[in-house]
Structure 1
Amino acid sequence: MQGWSLLLSAPWGGLSPPLQICVPCSPHHTWKEQSPWLSSLVNAVGTGVAAKGFPAVGEEAAARWNPPRCGVPDLPASPDGQNGRNRQKRFVLSGGRWDKTDLTYKIIRFPWQLVKAKVRRTIEEALKVWSDVTPLTFTEVQEGRADIVIDFTRYWHGDNLPFDGPGGILAHAFFPKTHREGDVHFDYDETWTIGNNLGTDLLQVAAHEFGHVLGLQHTAVSKSLMSPFYIFRYPLSLSEDDKQGIQYLYGKPKRDPDPTPTQPAELPQPDLETNEITNVEPAQPDACHTAFDAAATIRGELFFFKSRYVWRLRAGKLQDGYPALASRHWQGIPSSVDATFEDPLGNIWFFQDSQFWIYDGERRVSGPTPIAELGLPAAPVQAALVWGAEKNKIYIFSGGNYWRFNPHTRQVDNIYPRTMADWRGVPQEIDAAFQDEFGFAYFLRGHDYWKFDPVQVKVLEGYPRQISQDFFSCTPSSNSFR
């Protein structure tokens, strides 16, 4: 029809073209389709008449008002005011779905503010929101074709849906069965963050866009993930409307994806309510007479591990309520820890025998995973050390040898280890290692420790010394011989 323009596309995410409508307009002129309530406000602009629920505003104020939202246009309102929705179900479908349940995805470019490894984990978590309630599976590929292609890009980027710089449109994606199905675009100019409201939370936006990629349109249901406007909410979860919509397309999961977690047999129930060891617990280890299994600096505090217990030191002082069960901080942690460290991204790694676990704060994100996937032999890891002024060097020790480990690639630099002779004065085999705030490294074996000078690259004079005496203010052992 001459003088009318119809552009079909998906805002927050699912795009064919986004569904944007121009009333009689000049060629190539388009405007951003607003949600029904936003449209009513815009229509009132310039008349001085207040839209229902909003004060009267002028053109200048309206031009400044650009709430962050998905770039996939909303469906036009239908004459009955129901926005095209069936009264029995509020979720809205795009009209397409994938004909398979095992989908692949690939990330082309990344935001500059975030480390690639953390972006990958966040994308994985955003997809898991949908796979947890459906039979869908998602596998990342880094080469070749992929069903879902993720990109961080700017302004005009080839799909007639330009981004607008910081704020405003955050991302968009294309629906299934459209000419660009599977494409997901994020505005590179946003301040992307993870797990906080200091910028735009990537997890929430990505999960929303993946809803479009799978076939869901925007919904007007309050607090649904598929609502078009961005509001930071934590923790991320699907509303019942989101869940019903995606299960309408793909069905329910083949098995319960979220079974009730069971406590390991050796973990007593009382620790669920208190951080202290209760009287029903067997006698916990005494720090004055303990050879520790692992030690690490985590979030600026020093933690010592023995069996399933942990001691926590802040500014050199043992904190009240410790020792405590390590599972109080990290649910699902193995019953004993051989080694642990916090990587430069803030992830906490735990090793036991031939497996490892990764936690983001107190939340487990992976594991148990075989250490062979890191390029390490199956032999148990004995210690791990984060080293260097930037804390960007990680060394893993086992059997009198050590490996340099890259947490970004999650691989050792070389499968062939070096010998402990490089660490002058450190014993051949060690139980634990950590670095202090001044850059000194500490190596533990039995009840003793060695302090390593990063400048002289050797152990300081006067070591080894007793761990219990220097860290826990215990009385020196009378039978200690040097």
Structure 2
Amino acid sequence: MDLDSIIIRFPWQLVKAKVRRTIEEALKVWSDVTPLTFTEVQEGRADIVIDFTRYWHGDNLPFDGPGGILAHAFFPKTHREGDVHFDYDETWTIGNSLGTDLLQVAAHEFGHVLGLQHTAVSKSLMSPFYIFRYPLSLSEDDKQGIQYLYGKPSADPDPTPTQPAELPQPDLETNEITNVEAAQPDACHTAFDAAATIRGELFFFRSRYVWRLRAGKLQDGYPALASRHWQGIPSSVDATFEDPLGNIWFFRDSQYWIYDGERRVSGPTPIVELGLPASPVQAALVWGAEKNKIYIFSGGNYWRFNPQRRQVDNIYPRAMADWRGVPPEIDAAFQDEFGFAYFLRGRDYWKFDPVQVKVLEGYPRQISQDFFSCTPSSNSFR
């Protein structure tokens, strides 16, 4: 089977000839183990359409600037099948870890265009997260997956490849499957999923990663995988806090996990057992001089939670309006050593005075600037 490819636009960091060679090499990863052949065309229609583009670009899947989303692709039998989009604003490189390696990302995306979904098998090209590895090669899982769809090369001594009747069908109601790749996030250009003071240090969470600040300074080696500290933690967390007994709670979707230090002691457990609704928890705040008040936030409401009884004090929530000046929807919350509370939404934060019981003047401010010493940005979420 011969498939055509075309490159619409190129990344600014790389000369076109290198990009073409890299795209050819990324496609060759798949043609080496299947009967597929790929030919680049300069104009006209093509089976695979490659574009380097920015922010909103016509498919309702906007890019987000440097870091975060690297690329996405559309599966066969979707309305944009064959389209592969790369974020123009990434630092694209070839063969090194100084930026984002185009070869590995492209090969992964072409796997999706050909019909492969993500795999849970570690060190596979089709694993869901980008990690720089050289040389590029397929795992046995990658190879078996693509050969299930297209069979083995015609020169293969085994003459009986599996010949599928149909490619995988999308399982979303919109009849569209896309893939979003996550690089190691950049604290200067990201919004955080959760934040908490744990063992006297401040932790910020995004996707699988965590940043660790001690006395206001980012520690060396961060961001790091959160699983480095808490093995078995979900791939991303919605909220977290450390209770007065030193247990660390993590929330994801409608479940929670409890850790004693780095050891998991329970979970996943449904949050409805805590008296909370089944909707995801957005933030959790340990509050008060004795740090004995814990508040859970979700959907513009909040509950007071008793960790000893492992139940909310009242199943009926209160409105966020009680926290004067705090936006109704938040992403994370934590308390500092002086008793001030911090509420995060997008890339902004609000500092809440426990004496005046309201947000201080001059907020919101940017998380990246005040906690990570980044250059002020004008594109903060509001």
Calculate the TM-score normalised by the size of structure 2: 0.53
Q: Kindly state the Cα deviation for residue 191 of structure 1 after the two structures are TM-superposed.
A: 59
Aligned: 1:399 with 2:314: no
Q: Kindly state the Cα deviation for residue 471 of structure 1 after the two structures are TM-superposed.
A: 0.2
CA pair 375-257 structure 1, distance change in 2 beyond 3 A? farther
Say which SS state the counterpart of residue 311 (structure 1) adopts: strand
Deviation string 1:109-131 (CA, Å, 9 cap, x unpaired) is 99999999999999999999999
Corresponding residue of 1:95: none
Aligned: 1:236 with 2:149: no
Measure the CA separation in 1 of the matches of 2:350 and 2:176.
Answer: 31
Q: Kindly state the Cα deviation for residue 478 of structure 1 after the two structures are TM-superposed.
A: 3.7
Measure the CA separation in 2 of the matches of 1:275 and 1:176.
Answer: 10
Q: Kindly state the Cα deviation for residue 211 of structure 1 after the two structures are TM-superposed.
A: 55
CA pair 226-473 structure 1, distance change in 2 beyond 3 A? closer
Larger Rg: 1
Measure the CA separation in 1 of the matches of 2:368 and 2:153.
Answer: 52
Q: Kindly state the Cα deviation for residue 466 of structure 1 after the two structures are TM-superposed.
A: 0.1
CA pair 346-469 structure 1, distance change in 2 beyond 3 A? same
CA pair 254-278 structure 1, distance change in 2 beyond 3 A? closer
CA pair 293-105 structure 1, distance change in 2 beyond 3 A? same
CA pair 134-465 structure 1, distance change in 2 beyond 3 A? closer
Residue 305 of structure 1 contacts residue 311 of structure 1 at CA under 8 Å; is this kept in 2?
Answer: yes
Q: Flag the structure with higher strand content.
A: 2
Measure the CA separation in 2 of the matches of 1:412 and 1:444.
Answer: 23
Aligned: 1:336 with 2:236: yes
Measure the CA separation in 2 of the matches of 1:379 and 1:472.
Answer: 31
Corresponding residue of 2:213: 313
Corresponding residue of 1:427: 327
Q: Kindly state the Cα deviation for residue 251 of structure 1 after the two structures are TM-superposed.
A: 50
Q: Kindly state the Cα deviation for residue 422 of structure 1 after the two structures are TM-superposed.
A: 0.3
Q: Kindly state the Cα deviation for residue 451 of structure 1 after the two structures are TM-superposed.
A: 0.1
CA pair 402-274 structure 1, distance change in 2 beyond 3 A? closer
CA pair 156-255 structure 1, distance change in 2 beyond 3 A? same
Say which SS state the counterpart of residue 229 (structure 1) adopts: coil
CA pair 212-478 structure 1, distance change in 2 beyond 3 A? closer
CA pair 196-430 structure 1, distance change in 2 beyond 3 A? same
CA pair 312-211 structure 1, distance change in 2 beyond 3 A? closer
CA pair 475-384 structure 1, distance change in 2 beyond 3 A? same
Measure the CA separation in 2 of the matches of 1:117 and 1:410.
Answer: 61
Identical positions, percent: 96
Measure the CA separation in 1 of the matches of 2:175 and 2:78.
Answer: 54
Q: Kindly state the Cα deviation for residue 273 of structure 1 after the two structures are TM-superposed.
A: 41
Deviation string 1:384-424 (CA, Å, 9 cap, x unpaired) is 00000000000000000000000000000000000001000
Corresponding residue of 2:46: 146
Segment drifting more, 362-371 vs 144-153? 144-153
Measure the CA separation in 1 of the matches of 2:261 and 2:85.
Answer: 29
Calculate the TM-score normalised by the size of structure 1: 0.42
Say which SS state the counterpart of residue 276 (structure 2) adopts: coil
Measure the CA separation in 2 of the matches of 1:282 and 1:321.
Answer: 19
CA pair 335-218 structure 1, distance change in 2 beyond 3 A? closer
Segment drifting more, 311-320 vs 189-198? 189-198
Residue 133 of structure 1 contacts residue 257 of structure 1 at CA under 8 Å; is this kept in 2?
Answer: no
Q: Kindly state the Cα deviation for residue 480 of structure 1 after the two structures are TM-superposed.
A: 5.1
Residue 149 of structure 2 contacts residue 164 of structure 2 at CA under 8 Å; is this kept in 1?
Answer: no
Segment drifting more, 356-365 vs 197-206? 197-206
Deviation string 1:298-356 (CA, Å, 9 cap, x unpaired) is 00000000000000000000000000000000000000000000000000000000000
CA pair 392-229 structure 1, distance change in 2 beyond 3 A? same
CA pair 141-448 structure 1, distance change in 2 beyond 3 A? same
For structure 2, the 5+ residue unaligned runs are: none
Deviation string 1:53-81 (CA, Å, 9 cap, x unpaired) is xxxxxxxxxxxxxxxxxxxxxxxxxxxxx
RMSD of aligned alpha carbons: 22.8
Measure the CA separation in 2 of the matches of 1:470 and 1:346.
Answer: 27
CA pair 224-403 structure 1, distance change in 2 beyond 3 A? closer
Corresponding residue of 1:450: 350
Measure the CA separation in 2 of the matches of 1:366 and 1:144.
Answer: 57
- Paired residues in the alignment total 381
Q: Kindly state the Cα deviation for residue 268 of structure 1 after the two structures are TM-superposed.
A: 26
Residue 277 of structure 1 contacts residue 325 of structure 1 at CA under 8 Å; is this kept in 2?
Answer: no
For structure 1, the 5+ residue unaligned runs are: 1-101
Residue 10 of structure 2 contacts residue 51 of structure 2 at CA under 8 Å; is this kept in 1?
Answer: yes
Residue 285 of structure 2 contacts residue 335 of structure 2 at CA under 8 Å; is this kept in 1?
Answer: yes
Say which SS state the counterpart of residue 227 (structure 1) adopts: coil
Residue 225 of structure 1 contacts residue 237 of structure 1 at CA under 8 Å; is this kept in 2?
Answer: yes
Segment drifting more, 236-245 vs 150-159? 150-159
Aligned equivalent of 1:169, options 43, 50, 69: 69
Say which SS state the counterpart of residue 254 (structure 1) adopts: coil
Q: Kindly state the Cα deviation for residue 295 of structure 1 after the two structures are TM-superposed.
A: 0.1
Residue 53 of structure 2 contacts residue 87 of structure 2 at CA under 8 Å; is this kept in 1?
Answer: yes
Q: Kindly state the Cα deviation for residue 241 of structure 1 after the two structures are TM-superposed.
A: 43
CA pair 480-145 structure 1, distance change in 2 beyond 3 A? closer
Residue 423 of structure 1 contacts residue 458 of structure 1 at CA under 8 Å; is this kept in 2?
Answer: yes
CA pair 309-129 structure 1, distance change in 2 beyond 3 A? closer
Q: Kindly state the Cα deviation for residue 266 of structure 1 after the two structures are TM-superposed.
A: 27
Deviation string 1:140-162 (CA, Å, 9 cap, x unpaired) is 99999999999999999999999
Measure the CA separation in 1 of the matches of 2:235 and 2:258.
Answer: 15
Residue 397 of structure 1 contacts residue 403 of structure 1 at CA under 8 Å; is this kept in 2?
Answer: yes
Say which SS state the counterpart of residue 197 (structure 1) adopts: coil
Say which SS state the counterpart of residue 70 (structure 2) adopts: strand
